[in-house]
Structure 1
């Protein structure tokens, strides 16, 4: 066979692009694997107790028993499809009993407010005593921002008190960094964490943090540049997640109070920017919160609103979100479980066809197959589906699904 391009020319092209490919692979390593929590619960530092996870579960269960004591009532109160209500009802009750809280942040920022130094010092020390005792797989603190000199000094002192008090943070410990506006702030936090690791004899890179996307500058900077990738790069491999801040962001966009909600198009723009900026980096995404709380006479109304918002987030590719009140656990898990149950059959069928290389009405790519497998793993992790149900739907066990994800 005759060709035109010679081997030396091709070898030169390969050599030139090899370094480029290595740099790209370093920037986009893909998801690191492992479980992603479906939510993060934010509790003000002065409100934490030793029994917090169990107490949240008990309060959520009490709300369920009062306002949705059976599957039919759950369907009517929350909006779960009637056909799925019996299964969702039983699995939500089991979840609230066994693992009501998947991820928790002790909040020293907006939910906590400004206190005199001695009070915040005491709350920071108390937090270190309680964090280890909760035994949560995912836990951490949200410190204050670096907006002003005063806030920065207080944020750093609280961070120092908590990490020094913990000595060795529990696995899954993470710091939430709020109101970030420029990459310089992220770089400054990285420098502080470097010093803390050295002086506390922690492994290099052990301390990780989440960046809250809740300012307009965190999306587009003053020169019109896309900020999200620069924030991640400034994190030097320490950024574990991007968390959307609903109300600060919508307020910054000039929206009135009535329009400050997760379903607003302004929020969609910011979330899409987060998705594009973080895609392939291994940095995970979390949606924000709903401030319509299920309390008093508004439990059912708040549940239905929260359920719709969580379902909307899931369909947009945000598999984690914030919860601010124990009773929101009901609508959170109802939404997540219903979503997983509704998609399990079709996802399993597509995955089975891909693995078997059979023809069908949909021709999936390897990346899509990996996404389907990851979705199945999430469903098992949170308790929406059992491993046996997933295996029946797609023919793969957990190890097989994990291998498919890793071969993306």
Structure 2
């Protein structure tokens, strides 16, 4: 023990108390507006199926069609790896896990579409389709054939279709309640939002439904689709999407980028409308910053190039989709849209390769951080949060197994979850 240092201060305790009192409103605002990630599973994709095409066997049918596409165009690990440029080390683990995923859980998130994919229909027809969707989804959860997340995309809150969208939502939700209750995986999607006031109106609509049925306040959340230039930048120069998140009053769960509507809104030619266009990158970057720390997650859009036709054409479409998905993952967009059964093999291939190629390094770094063992990288709480989040996402989608993660990190899932959701003070204590 060395000489004990003399500790001296100059400020009275009242100074600290006064400062804390003055910042109490800010502390409360930070907790309210930036609660952090909810810690729940985020699906790697959303599949949209038109309301009239949705059936009891849709999920299984998509899985079977995806498996058939593999059988026809990439019947083994080597051929699939050659198409996508996977390393020899990744080829077999990725391919076998993709096939297993398609057999076990081909769709993670399914939205029955009553908007663009469904279009205008006679009222009686849309009523019946919405009621049917409620019945089929309720039955799917009851018999364990549902996707982890399911719901509908209604028509938007613009004047021309507002009443129809409200009625469809009412028919659908009422059908679920009468069939036994709202499933835990229920997701609602509000499209073509341009003004925060439309979000506020949707919140009032959900509140009214909850009151009528005696549901817990806030039970119904929803995603906001970003498909117009006005949703990114308002006339006063502010980021509209940030105001939309606040207008949702804690109910917003996601921001979904609409590739083609947004591109068309900006005048991008059809041939260049894609999720890697500079206009798309700008929109998603604004969405990402607006959502950071709020608990609202960001989803990328889709590609409309379908993997159909002769093998060479399918392979080209697969390479495009795989590349766009990997690009999105590197930019921290962990979810996207898939428009065709042929897209889901490359969705899962890209996701599984992303997590498998980096999980050993991530697990090792997190183990060293947890054990204060040092190493060639100096990590801190924010990095530990990112490392554990990466591993948890890999576990949730099936890219990784808890046994292999535990073997390399010495950590349980509970340990990972604790690192992934630290208290605010834990992240700022280092002053970084």
Which residue in the other structure is 2:427 paired with? none
Which residue in the other structure is 2:105 paired with? 99
Which residue in the other structure is 1:371 paired with? 386
Distance 2:409 2:288 in 1: 28
2:105·2:147 contact (CA, 8 Å) conserved in 1?
no
Deviation at 1:2, TM superposition (A): 4.3
Deviation at 1:252, TM superposition (A): 1.2
1:104-115 equivalences under 5 Å are 104-115=110-121
1:18 to 12, 24, 28: 24
Distance 1:226 1:34 in 2: 27
Which residue in the other structure is 1:33 paired with? 39
* 5+ residue gaps, structure 1: none
Describe the superposition over 1:342-377 as per-residue Cα deviations: whole angstroms up to 9, x where unpaired: 111111121111111112111111011011111111
Is residue 372 of structure 2 the alignment partner of residue 324 of structure 1?
A: no
Choose 8-17 or 59-68, whichever is displaced more: 8-17
Which residue in the other structure is 1:268 paired with? 281
1:31·1:281 contact (CA, 8 Å) conserved in 2?
yes
Which residue in the other structure is 1:161 paired with? 171
Describe the superposition over 1:190-242 as per-residue Cα deviations: whole angstroms up to 9, x where unpaired: 00100011112221111110001111111110111111221011001110111
Query: Aligned to 1:327, what secondary structure does the other structure show?
Result: helix
Distance 2:220 2:100 in 1: 33
Distance 1:59 1:78 in 2: 20
Distance 1:13 1:375 in 2: 37
Which residue in the other structure is 1:68 paired with? 74
TM-score, reference length from structure 1: 0.97
2:194·2:230 contact (CA, 8 Å) conserved in 1?
yes
1:101-140 equivalences under 5 Å are 101-134=107-140, 135-140=146-151
* 5+ residue gaps, structure 2: 1-6, 141-145, 424-432
1:274·1:285 contact (CA, 8 Å) conserved in 2?
yes
Deviation at 1:45, TM superposition (A): 0.5
Distance 1:268 1:58 in 2: 34
Distance 1:66 1:136 in 2: 26
Distance 1:129 1:71 in 2: 39
Which residue in the other structure is 1:277 paired with? 290
Q: Tell me how large the CA RMSD over aligned residues is.
A: 1.2
1:80·1:335 contact (CA, 8 Å) conserved in 2?
no
Distance 2:314 2:115 in 1: 26
Query: Aligned to 1:74, what secondary structure does the other structure show?
Result: helix
Deviation at 1:23, TM superposition (A): 1.4
Is residue 367 of structure 2 the alignment partner of residue 361 of structure 1?
A: no
Describe the superposition over 1:9-42 as per-residue Cα deviations: whole angstroms up to 9, x where unpaired: 2221111112211111111111111211111110
Which residue in the other structure is 1:346 paired with? 361
1:80·1:334 contact (CA, 8 Å) conserved in 2?
no
Describe the superposition over 1:313-349 as per-residue Cα deviations: whole angstroms up to 9, x where unpaired: 0000011111111111100000000001111111112
1:129-208 equivalences under 5 Å are 129-134=135-140, 135-147=146-158, 149-167=159-177, 168-208=181-221
